[in-house]
Amino acid sequence: MKKIDLTCVVCPFGCLMQIELDDNDKIISVTGNTCKRGETYAENEITDPRRNICSTVRIEGSKVHNVVPVKTSSEIPKDKIFECMKEINKVVAKVPVKIGDVLISNVLGTKVDIVATNNVLD
Amino acid sequence: MLAIIGAGPAGLAAALEAHKEGIKDIVIFERAKEPGGILLQCIHTGFGLHYFNEEISGPEYAARFSEAIKDTDIKLICDTMVTSISKDLEIIAMNKKDGLMKFKADAIILAMGCRERPRGALNIYGTRPSGIMTAGAAQEYINIKGYMPGKKCVILGSGDIGLIMARRMTLEGAKVEAVCELLPFSGGLKRNIVQCLDDYGIPLRLSTTVVCVHGKERLEGVTIAKVDDKLQPIPDTEEYIECDTLLLSVGLIPENELSQLAGIKIDPVTKGPVVSDTRETSISGIFACGNVLQVHDLVDFVTLESQVAGKAAAEFIKNRNLKNEFAKVVPGERVRYIVPQKVSLPVTEELTFYFRVTNEFDNMIVSLSVNDKEIYSKKKRKLAPGEMENLKIKTELFENLTSDDVIEIKVKEK
Amino acid sequence: MKTDIAIIGGGVVGNMIARELSAYDVGIVVLEKNHDISMETTKANSGIVHAGYDAMPGSLKALLNVRGCALMEDVCAKLYVPYKKTGSIVIAFNEEEHEHIKALYDRGIANSVPNLEIINKARLREIEPEISPKAISALYAPDAGIVSPYELSDSAADCAANNGATYIRNFEVSSIEMKDDMFVISDGECFIEANIVINVAGTHSDDIANMVGDFSFKISPRPGEYALLDKAAGYIANTVIFTTPSKMGKGVLVAPTTHGNIIVGPSSYDADEKESYAIRKGQLPIIFEKAKESVPNLPVGQMITSFAGIRAHTEGDDFIIGSSKMNKNFINVAGIASPGLASSPAIAEYVADIVKEVYPKELRRKENYNPSIKRPIRINSMSFEEKQVAIAKNPDYARVICRCETVTEGEIKDAIHRPVGAVDIDGVKRRVRAGMGRCQGGFCGSKVMDILSEELDIPVNSVTKFGKNSKIIFERTK
């Protein structure tokens, strides 16, 4: 049996959780969380850790903006973060871009999109 | 006219709330070219969890309010600087299009936000090269301008902006050598330490500060050192780190030049105006909300606070009901400050007190008393200076409160 | 390029000399090694117009300081440079120091310093309410004052350029050769030929003299740190407050600046590096401790920045001004340590007289010489009506860039388009104070960068803080 400490990153409270794992890294118990999402986070963090990432994409045709901010539409596998950044750095958007516009769909086959998080209209 | 100074999250929320309360003539003055304030450069997600029940990025959070403004007759004047306000509610502002303008307002809401503490105020010795900037300036360069401010970086200060920038710099291809924190604990949210530093293997060096900067033209490196419990550098713990950029995230200061010009009373601890529960300042008809009042960790609470101010300002314009009886609110043991600093009488609504503690504490009791008699208490598993706490107190608990009464919030051991 | 007179060094003294000589019908080239003028000793200076009681009677320092102090008000008026006759005091804490200020008084009288007096405790507290109650008496020099050193320097340069002087920046002199009685000055790439060379190279004036075989003096740079306090601390001093001097300098002073801040400093020690503008470990606490002896309630927490300056100290402790023994047409203006700034208008006159003597032809005064030049307007110091007029003429004066000092886009553009205009962020800061306030450019830095990029037509990522490799941002993220 193994015990590990995990800080939940689901919300700004950041509960410090104690996780008990068996020899096959399966969760026996989670304590220290103040809501249910903590348990889910712990489960995911042990088996398939994922993160949202935010960056910017080059934009062309705007008088004021060089870049438009973007985010992943949902979490991507943690080990794909830098690969995903490479994809984000490759793509070029053109004005107008609106919040929610998909700039890369299904990035790296993760079923996650890269979407704009600001309006750049001119 | 209701004049609102600043179209960041505070000004926008206050404007919308006052509008909802029936005020038609609202003007927001904004110095940037577009509304949104500092949220526009905070492109990370983590905003809105309390207010919208979902996590969105800074620009998205701002857009929800600035889009809502578009559907109203609220006037938004951007690229405009308010250069003075007076105690009789006169405003002088200027911009390229309209030149110099003078207004007489019926009420004013201060929503100018805060600014970062610069290096000058710190006792760092060494040279004066380029490459030393506030974390917020770096954030603007990367996220708004789209330029890298450096390639190899040390960050001083582990508040949320410092942590967020460590991750941003890393994602955009820079190497972050360390985040140094003078105190024995980080002022940032726990989850930001995990997902901004731990995820990328960036060391957090607690009780450590930058003592010297090196480099003639561009920064070439910094000397860091451990500090003792009086926060003074310990000899022989010095260590040189090569870097071309030093980001400072060493605190935020509410931006109250205008408030001081008008003669508004400032709380020496919050560095923001002293306000009542309606967020009215020491000058009748001038209200304050958001980071100009107290530095918040979460924009959601800025929104809530600004709605209180917006509603109160609307009430002030409509009814001119001048509340001038107040009960004092004072921080007790282990509490650094409380906002509001006074409660207007009689209390007619549930009140929320926001406060920060002086240090990190585990398993404590937060206690609110009136004239040393405890009327409310609440267990708290964890308390930290970096996290703003709040206490909601029901109206009936403050029945019969008089201006001689003193409300105290303290943190005590179980 | 050929010229009559080459001035090596674009600090306040070089620029004041250039201005003085630009009244005559001669070609003048000012060579400055840095990206901008006024970047060394001029920039990091206490800005004091000393009255002239420090220097030994009969010395050049005594002569030129007293004369310079007398000229300063008029020069500043002509150049629209902030100047204030605040007066200065030297405090005595005990009998021994009282004797010392009496000696200073006698020296001042010998140097012809006007209006000097020794004042008692009561009078002292009247002048300076915040002074230590331990002070027993003081030497009061009502004619001493304060000036903004870099604004004086930059305006003198603008005035000289306006009268025909040519400024070449980024020209670091690496050799001076003789060719048919002409000096050939080179930075390794370009050559300037001149009949007369005036060596005003500050801490490097010995290196420049060495290039023509003159080894008659050596500069031992003496750095000193200063702290600048917020305007909110302005109440703490009305005059320039000195403690009694030591061998190493005039002691730590506490003084107002012309912009309402408080300057505290300098520390003093000999150094081996000529350009080490670095704050040394432990020096700031020392100067604060010393300053608190004279002003106990000094609000140290109000510090907004600190910086180090370097005095071009020489062994003889006097200014070295005159033709070199190697060549009468090579004029050294060296060892201009304190009171160099105060003396600068007088040094300029003095050097012009030397030039008149050695110049092969008679120097003819230009008919159209203009000793005056307006500084860029300051919106912040205008009345409502004045602002309206200025903004009506140019709407750029209505867009505030620096919030702390209320500096507008129009003022920054003016600074860039001066005769010797700003070329980098620090240059804008020195000329119009954008970034000089309590946030020290945190907010306006990137906007100043945009304006510099636009006005100078250079990419935004090649804008620097002060030239060379002091870039602010690198390549595009995307």
User: Considering the domain C379-462, what is its CATH architecture?
Assistant: Orthogonal Bundle (1.10)
Name chain C contacts of B125, Cβ cutoff 8 Å: 278-284
**pLDDT (tens digit per residue) in B261-316:** 999 999 999 999 999 999 999 999 999 999 999 999 899 999 999 999 999 999 99
* The predicted structure's pLDDT at residue B224: 96
Element (H, E) at B376: strand B373-383
Cis bond before residue C339 (omega within 30° of 0): yes
Name chain B contacts of C280, Cβ cutoff 8 Å: 125
Q: Which amino acid is at C456?
A: L
* The predicted structure's pLDDT at residue C390: 96
Mean pLDDT rounded to a whole number for chain B: 94
In chain B, residues 30-59 whose CB comes closer than 8 Å to chain C: 31
* The predicted structure's pLDDT at residue C272: 59
* The predicted structure's pLDDT at residue C353: 97
A89 with C476: Cβ contact below 8 A = no
Which residue did the predictor score with more confidence, B166 or A28? B166
* The predicted structure's pLDDT at residue C312: 85
* The predicted structure's pLDDT at residue C143: 97
Closest approach of B46 to chain A, Cα-based (Å): 8
CB contact, 8 Å: B128 with chain C? yes
A55 with B171: Cβ contact below 8 A = yes
Name the residue facing A69 among B49, B57, B145 (closest C-beta).
Answer: B57
Name the residue facing B199 among A14, A78, A99 (closest C-beta).
Answer: A78
Angle formed by the axes of helices C409-416 and C445-456, to 10°? Answer: 50
Name chain A contacts of B146, Cβ cutoff 8 Å: 56, 58, 65-67
**pLDDT (tens digit per residue) in C296-343:** 999 998 888 888 888 888 888 899 999 999 999 999 999 999 899 999
* The predicted structure's pLDDT at residue B120: 62
B31 with C400: Cβ contact below 8 A = yes
CB contact, 8 Å: B199 with chain A? yes
What superfamily does domain C88-142+223-310 belong to in CATH? D-Amino Acid Oxidase, subunit A, domain 2 (3.30.9.10)
* The predicted structure's pLDDT at residue C182: 95
Nearest residue to C202 via CA among C278, C276, C310: C310
Contact B8, B28 (CB under 8 A): no
Domains of chain C by residue range:
1-82+147-219+314-375, 88-142+223-310, 379-462
CB contact, 8 Å: A67 with chain C? yes
Residue in chain B nearest C308 by alpha carbon: B127
Helix extents (H) in A30-105:
36-47, 81-90
**pLDDT (tens digit per residue) in B191-245:** 899 999 999 999 999 999 999 999 999 999 999 999 999 999 999 999 999 999 9
- Mutation target to probe the C interface, by most C beta carbons within 10 A, among A59, A64, A66, A85 is A66
- Cα–Cα dist B345/B399, whole Å: 10
Closest approach of C478 to chain A, Cα-based (Å): 5
In chain B, residues 64-103 whose CB comes closer than 8 Å to chain C: 79, 81, 83, 92, 94-100, 102
* The predicted structure's pLDDT at residue C439: 74
pLDDT reading at B110 higher than 60: yes
pTM for this one? 0.92
pLDDT per residue, tens digit, chain A (122 aa), is 888 899 888 877 788 899 999 988 888 999 988 889 999 999 999 999 999 999 999 999 998 899 999 999 999 999 999 999 999 999 999 999 999 999 999 999 999 999 999 999 98
**pLDDT (tens digit per residue) in C97-129:** 999 999 999 999 999 999 999 999 999 999 999
C259 is catalytic: no
* The predicted structure's pLDDT at residue B372: 92
Name chain A contacts of C476, Cβ cutoff 8 Å: 58, 66
- Cα–Cα dist B156/B124, whole Å: 11
- Cα–Cα dist B188/B185, whole Å: 9
What ipTM score was computed for the predicted complex, to two decimals? 0.93
- Cα–Cα dist B283/B279, whole Å: 11
B121 with C303: Cβ contact below 8 A = yes
Residue in chain B nearest A84 by alpha carbon: B171
Residue B224: which residues within 8 A CB-CB, separation 6 or more?
Answer: B154, B178, B180, B205, B208, B209, B210, B211, B238, B239, B241
Largest CA distance in chain B: 66
- Cα–Cα dist B251/A39, whole Å: 34
C400 with B145: Cβ contact below 8 A = no
B218 with C281: Cβ contact below 8 A = no
Q: If 0-12 CB within 10 Å is exposed, 13-18 middle and 19+ buried, where does residue A78 land?
A: middle
CATH number (3.50.50.60, 3.90.550.10, 2.102.10.10, 2.60.40.10) of C1-82+147-219+314-375 reads: 3.50.50.60
Name chain A contacts of C477, Cβ cutoff 8 Å: 56, 67
B217 with C281: Cβ contact below 8 A = no
Name chain B contacts of C395, Cβ cutoff 8 Å: 96-97, 99
Residue C289: which residues within 8 A CB-CB, separation 6 or more?
Answer: none
Q: Among the options C50, C98, C204, C313, which is catalytic? A: C50
**Spans of chain C below 70 pLDDT:** 245-250, 269-276
Name the residue facing C442 among B118, B129, B147 (closest C-beta).
Answer: B118
**What share of chain B in percent tops pLDDT 70?**
99
C476 with A66: Cβ contact below 8 A = yes
Name chain A contacts of B144, Cβ cutoff 8 Å: 65, 67
Which residue did the predictor score with more confidence, B189 or B378? B378
In chain B, residues 246-285 whose CB comes closer than 8 Å to chain C: 255, 257
